Chain A
Amino acid sequence: MPQDGAFLRIHQVAKTYTARDGSSIQALRAIDLDIGEGEFVTLLGPSGCGKSTLLKILAGLLPRSAGEVTVQGRSLAGPSRALGVVFQAPVLLPWLTILENVLVPAKVQRIDPPLAAARARELLAMTELTGFENRYPFELSGGMQQRVGICRALVHDPAILLMDEPFGALDAMTRETMNEELQRIWQERRKTVLLVTHSIPEAIYLADRVVVMAPRPGHIVEVLPVDLPRPRTLEMQNTPEFGRYVSHLRGHFRAGGMLTA
């Protein structure tokens, strides 16, 4: 165990791209963030602030230019079984059934098939997808497909769930339902979650802590603990406490000129 008990530690992580003309573009500058085990952290910021870049670096899909990422003290280099990733689009394979799609990571990691199948069915039941195991992705709605994506990210029982604007493509109503459901899943499974979003209410509703990021180059502006009781309800969004968090966060984007209107 690391001395200070950080479960996922992001230390001085930076990302610099080299442009075609040889000049370098700094996407992320010296990101420091410690996340505790079982904590739900949301990364909030406008487009171009590097929040998705940071998530891709954590997922091992992008090499970092500097810094270190450790999980339970062990350095993270490249994709890891300790992680489950949920993408912006569901990214289901159209030629596989729902059950087979959920089992993709288990197949890749050669997890004992009966064990994996049992876990997949359990996850599908938890996300109210029982009965759809043998359907194909095109037979499901967008919200259902994204739920399948979440099941897939959890099937190999990772310690950390990385979510890159997972509900960004869904309509507002479905999105609220999915947020409720995600909170429930998190409370049942107690995963460490890092979720990227550009919706202020979503960031507050889900998070133990909201990490606010700003662009040019991407850096952390504030880490805001959200002290609202769990389980949170959608009605809670109309309370003055919730409103105070919203206006505080919105202040950041106004002051930085990151948000117009």
Chain B
Amino acid sequence: MLKQIEGSRAVAEAVALCRPEVICAYPISPQTHIVEALGELVKGGELSSCEFINVESEFAAMSVAIGAAAAGARSYTATASQGLLFMAEAVYNAAGLGLPIVMTVANRAIGAPINIWNDHTDVMSQRDCGWILLFAETNQEALDLHIEAFRLAQALSLPVMVCMDGFILTHAYERVDMPSQEQVDAFLPPFDPRQVLDPARPVSMGAMVGPEAFMEVRYLEHVRQMRALELIPGWAEQFRDAFGRDSGGLLHAYRTEDAETIVVALGSVLGTIKDTVDEMRARGERIGVLGITCFRPWPANTVRDALAGAKRIVVVEKSIAVGLGGIVSANVRTSFAGHADTVYTVVAGLGGRSITRQSLARVFASAAAGTLPPLTFLDLDHGLVERALARERDTRHSGPVAEGLLRDVGLVAARIS
């Protein structure tokens, strides 16, 4: 059924269609509307046989999800930013224990300086925690990925994060096709846990494991996650047959046939990139886009095949490994047969900085001309940076960086973008 609704509402309704039995959450922008909507659905009786548990922190949210999943309940939570960091220890535990929890991450920057806007720094901090990481390009894909995530999680006994860009998707109203309960029931089998806490058949979960078997536990976790690379493509086809649209899968290639330049990105920025690529294609430039839907496990071979014909790769990423550069591009480099020097990193949109077609077209053209530096910060205000550096040169007591920059920038509220 077609609806014009907010992304958060769409995800909440999709999660409800997956019949979770325990939802535990602590509110944090921009995740709040998702869990508020789910709370209403539980309270209003539309989502029955589900307990909604208000907890006192994100650490508690993940801990309750772990307990609920261990008891055999289909469990869901959602968070963002500092909330994800605060639950980090339990996030690793959920993966190590092999518990099929589904969590939405409404991607947001991490402080300091405190910033509520979108980027991918939050999820990238947890990229190697053992969870499967899926990234949504649109609100339609965000809701669809949750349905696929519950199936994937319970099939592999692994937790899955569905990442959607905070505000840009969570707070956007757009058209979505909401599936029926019957369609979701037919796609998502009942939860049959591989391990369950049952007084009648006692087991120990979370046993201490010494050097004699710890490596094997981690190895099996890796093997289990890599199994997702085999399952996801087939399930994406099943999803298309059942729901009539392409959502999920490992990657989305767009106009990459004969492309000399391929732009790689994750999440909602892919839409703006596709519009930019269309404009450049119309001018005769051979450029295409590769969207990474499944970031963990890393689909190395599929990425390598998709990039095989390209001369250069431009990775547009909303995160930075301080002291290294790109995170996504470091992954891409492992899966590109061409020279590593032809994989360019463009760090963009940090802390909610707008990513425009105009700026993207400029860096893509620069890459094609061979003039793009290996690491670029899109629309960095060089004047602002110079003033801060000058302050630091001029005086030892230059004070807090953020305060100095804000003073230089002036009144922000008067700006349009």
- Our verdict on whether A and B bind, yes or no, reads no
Q: Which B residues have a C-beta under 8 Å from some C-beta of A?
A: none
Q: Which A residues have a C-beta under 8 Å from some C-beta of B?
A: none
